[in-house]
Chain A
Amino acid sequence: MLEIKNLQAKIGEKQILNGIDLKVNAGEVHAIMGPNGSGKSTLASVLAGREDYEVINGTVQFNGKDLLELEPSDRAAEGIFLAFQYPVEIPGVSTINFMKTAVNKIRHYRGQSPLDAVAFLQLMKEKMKLVEIDQSLLSRSLNEGFSGGEKKRNEIFQMAMLEPKLAILDETDSGLDIDALKIVAHGVNSLRSKNNATIVVTHYQRLLDYTVPDFVHVLYKGKIVKSGTKELAKELEAKGYDWIKNEAALV
């Protein structure tokens, strides 16, 4: 589904991604971990097409398409979803309104007719239940005055609405209480299928207890320095990153 080869990217004069290789197949869950500032969010942004980052080398194939050639909105329509580490506020625009626009834009891209109000409402109700989010929250200005946890839950609601092929969750677990964490994990799990894939960026084992990854990668200084199974995440939780850093320094 996704194949990243030797991806290098910079912002301004600063190179942040230093040659990333990663292959994600349909049906898989990959966790990406790594110390602060190692480039996890940058990788997510580059995949989503944020313009501030300049790709200086490498290729990204997504379902047979050259992802880097696509406009950010087209990437979304092709099925890439990014749950933001810091969701953005848009005053005066409700989540409902935002989602209605997004859903129909994406449907338009795919040559489908727009959902009418009834169908949209039905879809919304179903997804609201899945992530246990309240309609009153969805009627408020998007992310404005939301608590940290509400913002994250709202991201997962949006993911559920858009049913992406590849979801990238950037620290969606941070700031969630235990109950919210379970709900989010439940949401992610119930959207899992053999046709889609998930990349989970996280610092903690706890989300991975519920959403069990097939692979765990450690990003350090803009490179994947170690990959393993879910056991690797547990090892990191127990030992921290120093041993990885040391290993990396030896190479």
Chain B
Amino acid sequence: MSKDNQLLEEFTSKEYEYGWNVNLEADEAPKGLSEDTVRFISAKKKEPTWLLEWRLKAYRQWEKMPEPTWPNVHYPKINYQDIIYYSAPKQKKSLSGLDEVDPELIKTFEKLGISITEQKRLTGVAVDAVIDSVSVATTFKSTLGELGIIFCSFSEAVKEHPDLIKKYLGSVVPMGDNYFAALNSAVFSDGSFCYIPKGVRCPMELSTYFRINAANTGQFERTLIIADEGSFVSYLEGCTAPMRDENQLHAAVVELYAMKDAEIKYSTVQNWYPGDKNGKGGIYNFVTKRGLCFGDHSKISWTQVETGSAITWKYPSCVLKGDYSMGEFYSVAVTNNYQQADTGTKMIHIGKNTKSRIVSKGISAGKSQNSYRGQVHIMKRASNARNFSQCDSLLMGDQCGAHTFPYIDVENQTARIEHEATTSKIGEDQIFYCLQRGIDEEAAVALIVNGYAKEVLNQLPMEFAVEAQKLLALTLEGSVG
């Protein structure tokens, strides 16, 4: 209950709050994409040859692939030669502690409301902050280190833990999986890496804040999380991007790998810049996220709150390979003005007695289009597989659209699949009831929408849930009346 309250009180700013630009001297690749660009990035990062070869192979595959046209989104053709593929904030030397971090950068985080020092002191959240593709600060490393947990930037992992990277990179999302994954594989700049050893329960939420900063820079993050047998980790990813007119491409890849009895909980709150009221600007968010429940009794759970981006194309999925493994997908996707979202999940049941659960809550306002696209695939071997899907759409006004595309493929007759879908509107009656209790219209909408999304928000860790509620409200401001 304090969540809502806090939310309502902070109901003030109208424009995108995070729209400003800090002046960080960038260290950029020249515009455009070629084998040379790939070599430049790899050299810049002082990568081993095998990784350069891996990137080049991905690049060559990408070159031959057509851009997908099946999502229910529309945008002008992207000129891939007009993008800068690498930009790193300049830093004098490698850092051993937070004190050495560029003060401009610290200011950036403070504007975002993420004071690392504060977080470190107050909440016990270890933050691996990624700004313009390079990790600049990693905290709590020593605490984690004692447990044998590895949590660092991807580049660091390449240097320090090459065997793990070599073994697991591309093991869940192969380099040629899809157009954007191939692009990422060729040019990814940095990201996060996490390994939880056998039997270890990670004692804190691991968290990364992504942020796009320099103009015309595509973001190509790469995250890899490996949970060894019987381990547990909860990982949070939050994004904010400054306001800008040109559209920016963001094509990240996230791979989760859960071994026997392991559990990974991955939560995202995404509020990349959605573009202005007239649909100008905004981020193109084309992300590939996939988790592999490799071992028996493993579990992967995706929770996402998507409020930002001009276009979202994203299907966090679970491949349920181990027997008795379980996949979950909880999603709230909000679109307003001219935003377009085509998001959902895939649950691929391979092992026996596998279970999956999908709860998707779409909220469309303004002239936006919101599509749920979900696939449940029960393979031949997956006897006694079970899936439950709940897909709800909430419409605000009559100029927006909500679409549901469920695909169900069953190859084993013992499967039990339940699918429920509803579409509703915020009722005048509900609004009036709130008004009559002294709750103004915007607060009423926030209350009703948060109630609608509650089942998903409840999956988020507390601090994130508060932020997510605020974002829902901010996104929907001015969308009624």
Contact = CB atoms under 8 A, between A and B. Distances in A.
Contacts of A158: 437
Interface stretch (A101-109, A193-201, A227-235): A101-109
B452 A101 contact: no
Interface in B50-64: none
A73 B433 CA distance: 10
Interface stretch (B145-153, B348-356, B443-451): B443-451
Given A97-B4, A105-B8, A114-B9, A91 B452 contact: yes
Contacts of A84: 433, 436
A97 B450 CA distance: 11
A88 interface: yes
Nearest to A139: B1
Contacts of B437: 76, 98-99, 101-102, 105, 158, 162
B363 to A, nearest CB: 13
Interface string A72-83: 110111000110
Contacts of A77: 438
Contact of A92 (B1, B5, B433, B454): B454
A238 interface: no
Contact of A73 (B4, B428, B429, B439): B439
A102 B447 CA distance: 11
Interface in B1-32: 1-2, 4-5, 8-9
A77 B455 CA distance: 31
Interface in A158-200: 158, 162
Contacts of B447: 90, 93, 97-98, 101
Interface residues of A, number: 38
Contacts of B448: 90, 93
B450 A92 contact: yes
A117 interface: yes
Contacts of B450: 92-93
A81 B436 CA distance: 7
A141 interface: yes
Given A72-B432, A88-B433, A91-B452, A102 B1 contact: no
Contacts of A93: 447-448, 450-451, 454
Contacts of B440: 71, 73, 105
Contact of B2 (A98, A106, A117): A117
B439 A105 contact: yes
B435 A100 contact: no
Given A88-B427, A92-B450, A92-B451, A104 B432 contact: no
Nearest to B449: A92
Nearest to A104: B5
A76 to B, nearest CB: 4
Nearest to B457: A92
A50 interface: yes
Contacts of A50: 432
B1 A100 contact: yes
B435 A94 contact: no
B430 interface: yes
Contact of A100 (B5, B430, B441): B5
Contact of B451 (A48, A91, A96): A91
B433 A87 contact: yes
B258 interface: no
Contacts of A222: none
B453 interface: yes
A105 B9 CA distance: 9
A45 to B, nearest CB: 8
A49 interface: yes
Contacts of A109: 438
A81 B429 CA distance: 16
Interface in A11-58: 48-52
B318 to A, nearest CB: 26
B46 to A, nearest CB: 51
Contacts of A87: 433
A100 B454 CA distance: 17
Contacts of A141: 451
Nearest to B361: A92
B450 to A, nearest CB: 7
Interface in B256-303: none
A76 B438 contact: yes
A94 B1 contact: yes
A92 B439 CA distance: 17
A90 B438 contact: no
Contacts of B441: 73
Interface string A57-79: 00000000000000111011100
A90 B451 contact: yes
Given A94-B1, A117-B2, A105 B451 contact: no
20 contacts: A52-B428, A71-B435, A84-B433, A88-B433, A90-B430, A90-B433, A92-B450, A92-B454, A92-B455, A93-B454, A96-B1, A97-B447, A99-B437, A101-B4, A105-B8, A105-B437, A105-B439, A105-B440, A114-B9, A162-B438
Interface of A: 48-52, 71-73, 75-77, 81-82, 84, 87-94, 96-102, 104-106, 109, 114, 117, 141, 158, 162
Given A88-B433, A90-B434, A117-B2, 14 more contacts: A50-B432, A72-B432, A76-B436, A76-B437, A88-B430, A93-B447, A97-B4, A98-B447, A101-B5, A101-B439, A105-B438, A117-B1, A141-B451, A162-B437
